Amino acid sequence: MKKVLTLIVLAVAMAMPSQAQVKFGLQGGLNMSNISVKEAAGNPAAAIKSRTGFFIGPTVRFTLPIVGLGVDAAALYDQREGKVEGGETFKSQSIQIPINARYGFGLGSLAEIFLFAGPQFGFNVGGKKSIEALGQEVGEWTLKSSNLSANVGLGAMIMGHLQAKINYNFALGKTGEVNAKDVVTGLWNAAGSAKMNAWQISLAYYF
């Protein structure tokens, strides 16, 4: 994973012109997860009740010499949860690296409204859960080791330091898998795949 992170940082750095202004900061916020599970047989996805999670980590913002354009990136510890009504709680823990292009307009350095969108690269650091019934293990929930998602949203920057954002993060492919244990043979079989999307609100402070 360290090699992947290094390549992402280098790619962003090489894409930035020498005139770009760079600011570093700290970002944190809340996830309202939307998890859906699609059964292996192809049945419609089953929704899981959302629960609130959080994310936090360092962030960097590049302001380009072209008026209004910029790029921001972050390395965030991200925790999300969802609960089957009357049943199991699904949980994910990951490192998420969003890289967003942004376009802002407003009152210069005093305040700015901006739109943003871009890819997000995720790396699992936890999220396997045993599913039990009548005291026996009957299934398990496992996140993929890595996943790709995308962001789209809007935000506001005040005095060039304080930033607030709201966005929707949606999975580009399955996020995890649900496996079931055959009670007769004891073998594990694929029971379904899961997608984990989230509404997110965040605050960041740039130094």
User: Rounded to whole angstroms, how far apart are CA atoms 4 and 139?
Assistant: 32
Question: Hey, what are 17's tokens?
Answer: 């012109």
pLDDT digit string, tens, across residues 19-30: 568 999 999 999
Residue-level pLDDT at 41 = 57
Mean pLDDT over residues 77-95, rounded?
79
pLDDT digit string, tens, across residues 111-137: 999 999 999 999 999 877 766 665 666
Would you state the torsion angle of the CA atoms of residues 110, 116, 121, 126, taken in this order, to the nearest 10 degrees? 70
**Residue 131: phi, psi to the nearest 5?**
-110, 120
Q: Is the pTM of this model over 0.85?
A: no
Worst-scoring range by mean pLDDT, 39-53, 69-83, 117-131? Answer: 39-53
Residue-level pLDDT at 116 = 98
Higher pLDDT, residue 104 or 189: 104
105 pLDDT band (50/70/90 cuts)?
confident
82 pLDDT band (50/70/90 cuts)?
confident
What CATH number does the domain located at 2-206 have? 2.40.160.20
Q: Output the average pLDDT for the chain.
A: 81
Torsion sign across C-alpha atoms 72, 52, 174, 57: positive
